[in-house]
Amino acid sequence: MKSQIVTFLIKCPDQKGLVAKITSFFYDKGFNILSCQQYVNSIEDTYFMRVRLNADGTNISKSTLEHNFLELAKPLHFDWSVNYGGKKKNVAIMVSHTSHNLYDLLERSKEGRLDCNVKMIISNHEKLRPIAQMFEVPFYYLPVTKETKKVQETQVIELLEVNEIDLIIMARYMQILSSDFIKCYPEKIINIHHSFLPAFQGADPYNKAYERGVKLIGATAHYATVDLDEGPIIEQDVKPVTHESTPTTLKRIGADIEKLVLARAVKCHLNHQIIVSGNRAIVFPEAGE
């Protein structure tokens, strides 16, 4: 195997000796363990591990590594995945009217702060095409109505498949994706919700927050599931506000929070820091990488 960073994500029932068995396996195969992060959910009796390996000096093939690891994994009931790095993920961004998340993602990608290839921008409106042109990213205008939703989503899926998209980012795409669409991309659609979920789900959360007189305004990035705004939460953040804050003020503050929360969530996904367990996302912090 050529010099590269290999990342394993592991979930299994908690049991004695897991760390020793896993680390010994990689040591015996000649890997240098760069970091080994673990978490035990004592309530559900479940063990989680993220281990990053340096493959320098190993001569094992990917297929042999995975076959051998499977022999360890089966009796211990591992649910696991492996990423070999080196290849940037292809990303599609879906938007409607608002531009702040789109600008931020494109800028971070261009500067190398998000390790991905933004292959396309898909929108149900023409308004943000100039931003795509500024960053030289293909823009696809696919309008949608209640009557054309199924046809439009079929067009979107065709674009995603042709361009081998690995991650879909809903950067304020103000349409509800169908369950059929979402089921095609499990744990591959990240949505930014302009509220601190589970509060103020659905549309127009800032007005709802104003009417409720909240003292904190926030944003939530989560994986999209068939249950609206209820998928595994990846990142959240809040800022304090006062009774003097208007809906316009809340939107302005919220936009800043949204950008940071969405960018952090996308980075965690690209960096293989997340293990989904049921409707919870276990998010490991960066380990010096």
pLDDT tens-digit map of 229-268: 889 999 999 998 888 888 888 888 889 999 999 999 999 9
Whether 62 and 96 share a structural domain? no
Do residues 66 and 140 both lie within one domain?
A: no
* For residue 104, pLDDT beyond 60: yes
**CATH number, position 16:** 3.30.70.260
In this structure, the answer to whether residues 106 and 242 fall within a common structural domain is: yes
pLDDT category at 213 given cuts 50, 70, 90 is confident
The predicted pLDDT at position 196 comes to 64
End residue of a domain, out of 65, 83, 101? 83
Q: Provide the residue range defining the domain that includes 193.
A: 89-283
69 and 98 both lie in a single domain: no
Same domain, 119 and 262: yes
* Total domains present in the chain: 2
Q: Which pLDDT band, with edges at 50, 70 and 90, does 202 fall under?
A: low
- Which residue among 56, 79, 166, 229 is the active-site one? 229
If asked whether residues 133 and 219 sit together in one domain, one would say yes
Q: What is the mean pLDDT of residues 192-200?
A: 71
Does the structure show a pLDDT above 90 at 109?
Answer: yes
For 88-98, write each residue's pLDDT tens digit.
Answer: 999 999 999 99
The overall average pLDDT reported for the chain is: 92
Q: Per the domain annotation, does 165 fall within a domain?
A: yes
Where does the pLDDT of residue 197 fall: very low under 50, low under 70, confident under 90, or very high at 90 and above?
Answer: low
At 39-48, the pLDDT tens digits run 999 999 999 9
Asked if the structure places residue 288 within a domain, the reply is no
pLDDT above 70 coverage of the chain, percent: 96
Tell whether 74 and 179 lie within a shared domain: no
Q: Which of 83, 101, 130 is the last residue of a domain?
A: 83
Annotated catalytic residue 229 = yes
Residues 31 and 118 in one domain: no
Same domain, 192 and 265: yes
Domain final residue, candidates 61, 83, 105 = 83
Q: What is the model's pTM?
A: 0.92
| Domain match, 70 and 159 both | no
Specify whether the CB–CB gap between 33 and 26 falls below 8 A: yes
